[in-house]
Structure formats: structure tokens, C-alpha cells
Structure 1
């Protein structure tokens, strides 16, 4: 078995073939080790805007040549990249792995980030995550699939374009989020499992995405779980509802 070993600098810098990936930083390691892996890199690049040569457009460059379907996939993604560039690439790679005849049951997909406290490379699993992209939002999805979700107490958690948090349309500060979820879930669940449905504006960066994912992960326990569906939306493409997201 091949063990992933990396030295992560304080700034969260990861190098591959003389190209650099700036990793997100957090203060906890969800996972510390990964074996039998294939690395996938998403680099932050810029190019000249076709309509305005004085402007630069951000693009993503994906190195997927080492993505062996029978192994765990480790996604090293530059923290500056917006989700609108990152998520479609992840979805394409997820689909590739599922369709591969060499795909092996039990392998994982994980995101990498830097643990600034332990000063090690850390991993966040997302093997079972299915992304709903662009025009989907959990509030409408739950309503459409009410039969499936009626046995859960459902919270719609949204991280908007300004990286502010709402829970079922109510503004919640980042500092209060974990306590709010745990206390509100205990008060309203009526013995049901609380299901958190995560929504992210696609203008958020990958850095903000990982920070938000870990914040929510800290709020979970046996009675509070994450939905396997994640909604990364384009606000302009959501249906008009006249309500606060």
C-alpha cells in the first residue's frame, strides 16, 4: 500500500511538477492519513479576457492523468478557485470513476487542506456526495421529494455570495452556528434525525467551501447528519420564490 506523505508549509502550499496549489487552512484534521491513492490537481490560472484585454479571467487547469479508478482519489484544489469552475470538474471526475470498469468498491474521494495547528496535510471525505449544480436549491428539492424526507427534521443551510449563513432563511452568525444547530435540533426534532441540507453560492471560493464544510461537520453527531446531496447554485438560475434563501 502506498501512503501519502507531504510536507505542508504554514501557508498551505502544495507542489506538483513545479506548479503550485495553494491549499485551504483549518485548525482540525478530519482525516490525517490516506493510503493507495491517486492525486488529482486543480491549478489556479488566468488568461486574457477576450472582450477586454486589460482584464484577466480565472480558469482552472486540471491534471487528472494519474486518476486510477481502483484507488482512492485525493483532490488537491487551489483555494482561490471559485466553485463555478471547481464543481463541474469534480462532477465529471466522479462520473468517470463510477463508469469505470476498474472502479473498486470501498475506495474514497477526499479533499485536501492544511491543518495549521498540527501542521500536516489533512483530508475531508466526500465519496457519497452528489452535487446538484446551477439551478437547484435544497428547499425546493425537499418539497419535491417530501415523501423521502418526511421522516427527518430538515434544515436548509445556505452560504450565500457574501459567505453569510442562513438556516431556514434565518441569519446565523458563524460563531453561533454550531450551538444553534445542536440546540434547535434538540428542541424541534421530536425524536427524528436532523438532516442538514447544504447550499453554496457558486461564486464562493474553494477556500470558503472547505471552511464551511468543516464548520458544519463540527455540528454533526448521531442525531444530526448531513444530506448526501449538496447544492451549488447560480442565484440567477434559481426559481423565483419571493423568499429568503
Structure 2
């Protein structure tokens, strides 16, 4: 039986049927308001004693997908406190399990959940087509390696670093200026090509920061500005050495 999603406390929290709590991020817009025929997947924030230091607690992720049905839309309810280095490998694993299932159904979606603090409803951010490149990849190098695939686009590398600061092609951009910067820069430099935004996230960012950043980028899109289906969640220590600014 598919679990019922219950939003409480002005949609700040979401509870599973066994009363474990998932704290959701909040934003002021709903990318997608309704989704039917879905199965919930929960990622809980947990802590455990550090094996090397008993006075220190390590953050871990506990995944519950017992009632996920491959032929339905999958709704990912992820605690906002979890870091991407724990979240993304689990998401990638579940994406692959659904894709490889004999019961998988064409046209079904995968979505992240968050709460819309203005409309007071549970909201969804689709990521069905996203292909995650994890740990060792950054879009600047990926685009260069696959230049033939991207040559018909005007490509922007958008990076959200460990401090959640934004750069676009190595240029610092204030969060409040991001949308106007992207649209003005794209209009000035695109030469009639579609502008493709390639998103990069330091894996130390939290799921809350990740969702807020994705929604910020989504707000900047239009018919001439699109988001690449490749998404880069990187470990800075694993990237190729580069003298350039990410």
C-alpha cells in the first residue's frame, strides 16, 4: 500500500506512517503542485557515534523505499539537513533501480518535495531526466571533453560552492542578481543559440540549499535559456587540478 503524505506545521515537516520525521525545505513558489499515482521514498536524517571519537556524532541517511512501486511516479521526501554527499548516491541508486525494473512504466516521473510557504501546499520539483555526475566531475571539463555534443549551445557553467556562493563561468554573482545576470548575459552573448545552464554543486551543501538553488535557476529559464540534464555534484578534492576559478 502506498503511504499517504501528511504535511503538518505549515508544511515545515513531513511524517511517514511510522512517525519518523522528515524536515522539508521551504520556498515561495510551486514548480509543480500536484502529482498522482505516486510512491513515496523517505530519506531520514540520523546520527550515530563516531567510531574513532565517541564524543562526536556522524550524520547518516536512512532510506525507506519499502512501498515504492516502479510503475508509479516516485516522490522523494528528503530531510533538508542531509548533505548532498549522502543524498545523491542514494538518489542515483534508486534512479537505476527504477530504470532497470521490469515493472518500470514509461512516462512516470521522479520528483523532489519541498513546501511552498506562500501557497501553503506541498510542492514538487521534477528531476526525471537528470543524469548525475558525482564526485569527480565538473561541467567545465565535461563540456570540453564532449565539445561536439554542446557546440550548438551557448554554455554557462553555474557553480554553487561549499559556502553556497554563486559563480557563472568563474564570475562571482550575488544571489539577488542571479536571474537578471543570466538573462542579460545570455541575451548579450548567445548569438542566437539556446543558452544552456550547467549546474554544479559542492557535495557539502545540504539538500535544503540544493533545492533552493535549483529553484533559483529554474526561475531564470525561458524559451531561450534551458538547464542541462547533466548535473554535477562534486567533491572538490577529487576534481582535476586546475588553476582556473570554479
Deviation at 1:3?
11
Alpha-carbon distance in structure 1 between the residues aligned to 2:135 and 2:87: 12
Alpha-carbon distance in structure 2 between the residues aligned to 1:6 and 1:223: 38
Q: C-alpha root-mean-square deviation of aligned residues, in Å?
A: 1.3
Cross-structure match for 1:12: 12
After superposition, residues 175-194 of structure 1 pair within 5 angstroms as 175-194=176-195
Q: Deviations over 1:46-81 (max 9, x none)?
A: 000000000000000000111110000000000000
Alpha-carbon distance in structure 2 between the residues aligned to 1:10 and 1:179: 31
Q: Deviations over 1:101-134 (max 9, x none)?
A: 1000000000000001111100000000000000
- Indicate if the aligned counterparts of 2:11 and 2:120 stay in contact, CA closer than 8 A: no
Alpha-carbon distance in structure 1 between the residues aligned to 2:57 and 2:3: 39
Alpha-carbon distance in structure 1 between the residues aligned to 2:220 and 2:145: 26
How many residue pairs match? The answer is: 244
Cross-structure match for 1:215: 216
Alpha-carbon distance in structure 1 between the residues aligned to 2:11 and 2:128: 27
Cross-structure match for 2:160: 159
TM-score between both structures, scaled by the size of structure 1: 0.98
Cross-structure match for 1:234: 235
Alpha-carbon distance in structure 2 between the residues aligned to 1:186 and 1:162: 29
Cross-structure match for 2:89: 88
Q: From the superposition, tell whether residues 240 and 183 of structure 1 become closer, same or farther in structure 2 (CA, over 3 Å).
A: same
Q: Deviations over 1:168-211 (max 9, x none)?
A: 00000000000000010001000000000000000000000000
- Indicate if the aligned counterparts of 1:4 and 1:35 stay in contact, CA closer than 8 A: no
Alpha-carbon distance in structure 2 between the residues aligned to 1:195 and 1:53: 47
TM-score between both structures, scaled by the size of structure 2: 0.97
Deviation at 1:146?
0.3
- Indicate if the aligned counterparts of 1:44 and 1:61 stay in contact, CA closer than 8 A: yes
Alpha-carbon distance in structure 2 between the residues aligned to 1:5 and 1:51: 38
Alpha-carbon distance in structure 2 between the residues aligned to 1:190 and 1:174: 26
Cross-structure match for 2:52: 51
Cross-structure match for 2:124: 123
